[in-house]
Structure formats: C-alpha cells, structure tokens
Amino acid sequence: MAKSHVAMKVNGKTVEALVEPRTLLIHFLRDELNVTGPHIGCDTSHCGACTVDLDGKSVKSCTMFAVQANGADIRTIEGMANADGTLNALQEGFREMHGLQCGFCTPGMIVRAYRLLQENRNPSEEEIRYGISGNLCRCTGYQNIVKAIQFAAAKLNGVPFQEAAE
C-alpha cells in the first residue's frame, strides 16, 4: 500500500515517517515510535485506554489515522512528568490516592484528566465523573480516581487537599 509522509510533534520531539494511510494513530505511536504508554483496550472507541492529548484536546488515538495527525502536537503519558522529571500533580495524585491497580487504564486516564483540569481548574465530583466517562477502568471502581484528580486540582490551585467525608 502506498505510504504517506507525516510529521508531528510527540512529547516535544518532532517525528517524521512514512505510513500507510490506514494506520491508526495508536498503532503508529506504539508500533512505529515505541511510545507504548497509550494502550489498546477495545475496538469500538469506548475504553479510552489509548487517550492522548492532541492540539489541546483529549483524543482517542484508536479513532484517528496517523495521517490525520500530520502537523499535530501530541502529548502522551510519557510527556506528562514535570520538566525536572518529577511526577506531575496528577501522577502524584494517582499514587497518593490509590487511583490505579493494574495500571492499564492509567496512561489514558491521566492524560484525560490533564485536559479536564486545563478546561476546569476546580471541577466538582460530578464534573470529574462526567469528564472521565470516556475512559473505562475495570479495577478501581473510579472512586479513588476521582480523589486523585481532586488531589491534583488542589495541588495545582495551591490549596490543601481535603478528602470528602465518607
């Protein structure tokens, strides 16, 4: 199959490649670029394990062709840590609040939560739950993921995190 030239920024680095037009962005990231943080959990765009941040939006990278991402600026879980290499507020929140178990949904969850907090600095529990409803988790039951995101929001806003009473 004829290949097309694509160039995009992935976690701050410019990459160029020849890809088949039908290559999904998730396969391009994982198989060609070895960016294996984003995962594949379904065939129907439901699970969100493949979520990346693309030009300021959360995108399910299984639902887009690599050629459509030509010229895009992409951030994956691999590009989430602070500039000095320390965990960012969300990564820290997920660990502190036990917001992950098997870790398979986590890269997509954190990338999604990152965009959510960019759009809404101080989301309510309900807004968080709606905000991550495109990302499935089979392990945690979401409650601690919600807390992890609240933890991160508090940290980013410079206020102490208070756990809601049970």
CB of 116 to ligand FES, least distance (A): 17
**Segment interacting with other proteins, rule: CB under 8 A, options 67-75, 116-124, 144-152, 153-161:** 144-152
Sign of the CA dihedral running 31, 102, 9, 123? positive
Binding track, positions 88-127, relative to other proteins; x by CB under 8 A = --xx--xxx-x-xxxxxxxx--x-----------------
In the set 6, 8, 59, 145, which binds other proteins (CB under 8 A)? Answer: 145
CB of 23 to other proteins, least distance (A): 7
Instruction: Confirm or reject binding of residue 45 to ligand FES (CB under 6 A).
Output: yes
In the set 59, 69, 72, 146, which binds other proteins (CB under 8 A)? Answer: 146
d(CA 43, CA 97): 30
Determine the length of the chain.
166
Instruction: Confirm or reject binding of residue 25 to other proteins (CB under 8 A).
Output: no
- Contact between residue 114 and residue 165 where contact means Cβ atoms under 8 Å apart: no
Question: What residues contact 62, with CB distance under 8 A and at least 6 apart?
Answer: 24, 25, 26, 40, 42, 43, 45, 50
Q: Where do contacts with other proteins occur on this chain (CB under 8 A)?
A: 20, 22-23, 27, 30-31, 34, 36-44, 46-47, 49, 76-78, 80-81, 87, 90-91, 94-96, 98, 100-107, 110, 128-130, 132-146, 166
Q: Where do contacts with ligand FES occur on this chain (CB under 6 A)?
A: 40-42, 45-50, 60, 62, 100-106, 137-140
